Chain A
Amino acid sequence: MPSPPPGVSESDFQRALRELEGVVGRDWLFSSDEDVLLYRDGYSPLWDEAAERKASAAVAPTSVEQVQEIVKIANRYGLPLYPISTGRNLTYGGAAPAYSGSVVVDLKRMNRILDVSARDKTCLVEPGVSYFDLYRHLRTNKIPLWIDTADPGWGGLIGNALDRGGGYTDIEFRDHFDAHCGMEVVLPTGEVVRTGMGASPQAKTSQLFKYGLGPWIDGIFSQSNFGIVTKMGFWLMEEPEAALQVSVTVPKRRDVVPLVDTLHSLMAAHTVPSQVNVVSPVMAGNNSEMLRLRGSGGVADEQWDRYAASQGGAPFWAAQFVFYGPRAVIAAQWQHTKDRLAGIAGVRFQETASYTFPLTDEQAEAVADKARYGIPSLNLFGSRTAPGAPPLEGHMDFSPMIPPHGEELIALTDFTGKVYADQGFVPSFVGGLMFHPRTMICFHAVPTFRNATDNARTRKLFETLVRGCAERGWPIYRIHPVFQKLGMEMFGFNDGALHRLHETLKDAIDPNGIVSPGRYDIWPRRLRGSNA
Chain B
Amino acid sequence: MIDRRSFMQSSVACGAALATWSVHVSSRPAGAANLAASIVLVDRHLEGATEFAADARSQGLDTFDFTGDVAGLWMRELEPRLRAGPVTIAGRTSAATLFCLDFLARDYGARTVERVADGAVIWVISSTPGRRAPLAPVCTRTRSGDSHA
Contact = CB atoms under 8 A, between A and B. Distances in A.
Interface of A: 27-28, 30, 35, 38, 60, 62, 88, 106, 108-109, 111-119, 123, 128-129, 132-133, 135-137, 141, 143, 152-154, 361, 364-365, 370, 376-379, 381-382, 385, 387-391
Contact of B69 (A119, A129, A379): A379
A53 to B, nearest CB: 19
A128 B133 contact: no
Contacts of A106: 135
7 contacts: A28-B135, A88-B103, A113-B139, A114-B149, A116-B148, A132-B75, A382-B95
A430 B92 CA distance: 33
Contacts of A115: 142, 144, 147, 149
Contact of A111 (B94, B106, B136): B136
Interface string B61-74: 00000111111101
A60 B121 CA distance: 33
B132 interface: yes
B139 A111 contact: yes
Given A132-B74, A382-B95, A387-B45, 5 more contacts: A112-B139, A132-B79, A365-B69, A377-B71, A385-B96
B139 A154 contact: no
Interface in B24-56: 43, 45-46
A152 B99 CA distance: 13
A143 B142 contact: no
Contacts of A152: 71, 100
B137 interface: yes
Contacts of B149: 113-116, 123
Contacts of A113: 139, 141, 149
Interface string B96-128: 110110011011000000000101110000000
B100 A108 contact: no
Which of B79, B96, B121, B142 has the largest number of chain A CB atoms within 10 A? B96
B119 to A, nearest CB: 5
A387 B43 contact: yes
B97 A382 contact: yes
B72 A381 contact: no
A112 B140 contact: yes
Which of B66, B75, B119 has the largest number of chain A CB atoms within 10 A? B75
Nearest to B143: A115
Contacts of B67: 365
Interface residues of B, number: 43
A385 B72 CA distance: 21
A-B pairs, 5 with minimum CB distance: A382-B96, A381-B96, A387-B94, A27-B133, A378-B71
B139 A133 contact: yes
Nearest to A376: B71
Nearest to A88: B103
A108 B108 CA distance: 11
Contacts of B94: 382, 387-388
Nearest to B95: A391
Contacts of B144: 114-115, 117
A376 B67 CA distance: 15
A350 B23 CA distance: 56
B107 A108 contact: yes
A126 B118 CA distance: 41
B146 interface: yes
B11 to A, nearest CB: 21
Given A38-B106, A117-B147, A154-B100, A387 B46 contact: yes
A117 B146 contact: yes
Which of A62, A117, A388 has the largest number of chain B CB atoms within 10 A? A388
Contacts of A114: 141-142, 144, 149
A381 B75 contact: no
Contact of A62 (B79, B119, B137): B137
B132 A388 contact: no
Contacts of B74: 132, 378
Contacts of B76: 136, 361
Nearest to B72: A365
A88 B146 CA distance: 33
B43 A27 contact: no
Contacts of A28: 133, 135
Contacts of A387: 43, 45-46, 94, 96, 120
A378 B70 contact: yes
A479 to B, nearest CB: 22
A141 B136 contact: no
A108 B136 contact: yes
Nearest to B94: A387
B147 A378 contact: no
A136 B132 CA distance: 26
B44 to A, nearest CB: 11
A398 B36 CA distance: 45
Contacts of A136: 75-76
A364 B71 CA distance: 11
B49 to A, nearest CB: 10
A115 B139 CA distance: 13
Contacts of A388: 46, 94-95, 117, 119-121
A99 to B, nearest CB: 23
A421 to B, nearest CB: 28
Contacts of B97: 378, 381-382
A119 B106 CA distance: 37
A361 B104 contact: no
A109 B69 contact: no
Nearest to A379: B69
Contacts of B103: 88, 154
Contacts of A154: 71, 100, 103-104
Contacts of B46: 387-388
Given A116-B147, A388-B94, A27 B132 contact: yes
